Amino acid sequence: MVEPMVRMRGLYKIFGARGKDVLHHVQGGMGKEELLARHGHVLGLNNINVDMQAGEITVVMGLSGSGKSTLIRHLNRLIEPTVGEIVVQGEDVMGLSENGLRKARQEKMSMVFQKFALLPHKTILKNAGMPLSVRGHDEATCDKEATKWLDRVGLSGYENHYPAQLSGGMQQRVGIARALTANTDIMLMDEAFSALDPLIRTDMQNLLLELQKELHKTIIFITHDLDEALKLADHLVILKDGAVVQQGEPQGILLNPCDPYIEDFVSDINRARVLRVRSVMSAVSEADIAGEVDADKSLEDLITLSDGDTNHIYRVTDNGETVGQIDMKDLVRALVPRASSSASAAR
């Protein structure tokens, strides 16, 4: 198996002066609320074991206070873990010296922030070029790279503006350009789109997917919005009270939530639009085939295709090859959260 880009093993974070001393309580099964009430320490992360694969978007999702920001800040050690192992590109982050850590932050990981965190006294150009100038590159190089990426995120012409003169969406484009200028393999995005209004947000998600198609970065994206998570994620990690409740391929989580917490989460979603034919299809067997459908189409597309008739069975194809078939009755069942779980269990 290929070495993951990021590997976290047995990671715990307890906020408070005596985090190490109360660690054994947590390892013994004490929950977040009890720890706070009994020992006055806040449980940030509880036994995190996550692999993040190169070239994938790993989305970390959870409610407010579930420890998402804490998790992502462990990758570049903006927060020190209480105990645990963090390996990035085969290198133990915990073993890095101060200089080594700074170098890793400069060359391996860049970050995009919820509140943009641009330098208000610098122009957009200088902001975008900041990661390179920190590394000591000369001004011409910084400006050239910055101009290139600003152009790529659709901000050419704004180079000499100041952040305060730009809208939120544009400021976050600068944030993304800044991270891209750093030219790192890993991009950390902490609720990068949460401060934007829905339309701009969709724009930004599309921009990110488009960039990703071309650049194949390893992106760790944090959100508390399930729609956003499902749209972006190759790998979805769901956090609750600092612990991973479920992780895996998003469609799988949607169809087989392993926890009432996640069932709650996924109950509000428009399943027809999110679920793919591929996730609901069954193996090919002899039957009356009413037509063909692509495996990556959404259920909604198929419903439109079938004109709402539930008596048909469709052949599922992927690049012209038959990969399975789908019964419209299964499709309808998959639209109901509980029913879909039992249906797929029966299969």
Partner 1 sequence: MAFYDGLFNAFGLKEWCGEAASSAPMSMAELLAKSSGKETKGEFFPFPSLDNLNESCPGIIQSRDVTKGIENGFLAAKPGLKAVLDPITQPLSWLLDGALWLFATTPWFIMVPILVLVSWFASRSKQVTSFVFASIMMMGLVDHYDVAMQTLSIIFVCTTISVLFGVPVGIAMSKSDRLQKSVVPFLDLLQTLPTFVYLIPLIFLFSVTESKLYGIAIILYAIVPVIRLTDLGIRLVDKDVIEAADAFGMNDHQKLMRVQLPLALPNIMAGVNQTIMMSLAMVVIASLVSAPGLGVNVLRGIRNLELGVGIVAGIGIVLLAVILDRVSKAALKRVDMTDVKH
Ligand X SMILES: Nc1ncnc2c1ncn2[C@@H]1O[C@H](COP(=O)(O)OP(=O)(O)OP(=O)(O)O)[C@@H](O)[C@H]1O
345 binds, among partner 1, Mg ion, ligand X, none (CB under 5 to 8 A by kind): none
Which of 198, 209, 181 is CA-nearest to residue 118?
181
- Which C-beta is closer to partner 1: that of 82 or that of 110? 110
Considering only CA atoms, give the Rg of the chain. Answer: 23
- Which C-beta is closer to Mg ion: that of 219 or that of 326? 219
162 binds, among ligand X, Mg ion, partner 1, none (CB under 5 to 8 A by kind): partner 1
Is residue 164 at the binding interface for partner 1, with CB under 8 A as the rule?
yes
The phi-psi region of residue 325 (left if phi > 0; otherwise alpha if psi is between -120 and 50; otherwise beta) is: beta
Do residues 204 and 211 lie in contact, with contact meaning Cβ atoms separated by under 8 Å? Answer: no
42 binds, among partner 1, Mg ion, ligand X, none (CB under 5 to 8 A by kind): ligand X
- Which C-beta is closer to partner 1: that of 129 or that of 257? 129
Q: Which residues ranging from 49 to 78 are in contact with Mg ion (CB under 5 A)?
A: 69
Do residues 93 and 9 lie in contact, with contact meaning Cβ atoms separated by under 8 Å? Answer: no
Q: From the centroid of its chain, how far is CA 48?
A: 16
Minimum distance of Mg ion from residue 67's CB (angstroms) = 9
Residue in the shown chain whose Cβ atom is closest to Mg ion: 69
- Which C-beta is closer to partner 1: that of 69 or that of 279? 69
105 binds, among ligand X, Mg ion, partner 1, none (CB under 5 to 8 A by kind): partner 1
Q: What residues line the site for ligand X (CB under 6 A)?
A: 15, 42, 44, 62, 64-70, 224
Do residues 110 and 177 lie in contact, with contact meaning Cβ atoms separated by under 8 Å? Answer: no
In angstroms, what CA-CA distances link 198 with 165, 195, 227? 21, 9, 11
List b or e across 155-164, with b for residues whose CB sees 16 or more CB atoms inside 10 angstroms.
beebbeebbe
Size of the site for partner 1 (CB under 8 A): 30
Longest dimension (CA), the chain: 69
Binding residues (CB under 8 A) for partner 1: these are 76, 78, 102-107, 109-111, 113, 115-121, 130-131, 134-135, 161-162, 164-165, 178, 182, 188
